[in-house]
Amino acid sequence: MVPNLLDFTGKTVLITGARSGIGQATAIAFARQGANVVVNGRSNADETLARIKDLGGEAIFVKGDVSVAADVQNMVNIAVKKYGGLDVAFNNAGLLPVTTNLVEQTEEDYDKIMAVDCKGIFLCMKYQIPEMIKRGGGSIINCGSVVSMVADPGMAPYVAAKHGAAGLTRAAALEYTKDKVRINAICPAFTGTEMTSGWMSDPDFCEMVKSFNFAHRIADPEEIAGIVLFLASPMASFMSGAVIPVDSAQTAH
């Protein structure tokens, strides 16, 4: 019988920014496949936790801000203490960009987005990698964006942060693949989430975003979650240092 290559039974998975959207969908998907899921958010992730429990899954919540080193170290320590180690991390937490031209962006705008969307990736890997090495290996998936690969106007700090996330992914993969810690990044196109709901309420904006990709639609969080599970699984055992568009050909054009 062919084994279930998406079986994460007995594996510990840490997901940042899992209160809603892509993080929530991914947490639920891992729980369905038997993982012990450590769910992170800056305030709460009550709905995510409840949905996992309703499935009969195993999960705990750890409050924390990925831009604060002590918070990141704490969430990793709790995951290891509770479940015995760390096997998979999906570093998904992020902020939406301030949408205005570069000269109108403030230093505060820049610092805020860089702290979460770039520094947060750095801090998460800094504390996750040693625990995965102790485990004999693991898989880290960082969440970038299509603007990790290209650029859009009106969000220069966000573009810089997401390019930084891609660069950190590649650099860390060069350093730690030898230790059997695989590190990849996904770069989703615009996805329908609670965080983007304000933008989605504008019909003209929605049509513009749809026009960017060749399916002419907005992604669902569950579609992004599937790529994360694949990258964490044995099916992706020879993948490390990849920065993968999940964008229905948007960046292929």
pLDDT in tens, 171-214: 999 999 999 999 999 999 989 787 787 777 888 888 888 888 98
Beta strands of 35-188 (E only): which ranges?
36-41, 58-63, 88-91, 138-143, 181-188
Name every residue whose Cβ is closer than 8 Å to that of residue 137 and which is 6 or more positions away in sequence. 179, 180, 181, 182
Q: Per-residue pLDDT tens for 110-151?
A: 999 999 999 999 999 999 999 999 999 999 999 999 999 999
CA pair distance 73, 77, nearest whole angstrom: 6
Please tell me the predicted confidence (pLDDT) of residue 195.
Answer: 77
Q: Which pair of tokens denotes residue 208?
A: 């513009």
Q: Find the catalytic residue in 83, 110, 127, 158.
A: 158
Let me know: does 236 contact 180? Beta carbons within 8 Å: no
pLDDT band at 1 (very low <50, low <70, confident <90, very high): very low
The domain ranges of the chain are 12-247
CA 55 to chain centre: 22
Integer Cα distance of 2 and 176 in angstroms: 30
The architecture in CATH of the region 12-247 reads 3-Layer(aba) Sandwich (3.40)
Q: Tell me, yes or no, if 158 is annotated catalytic.
A: yes
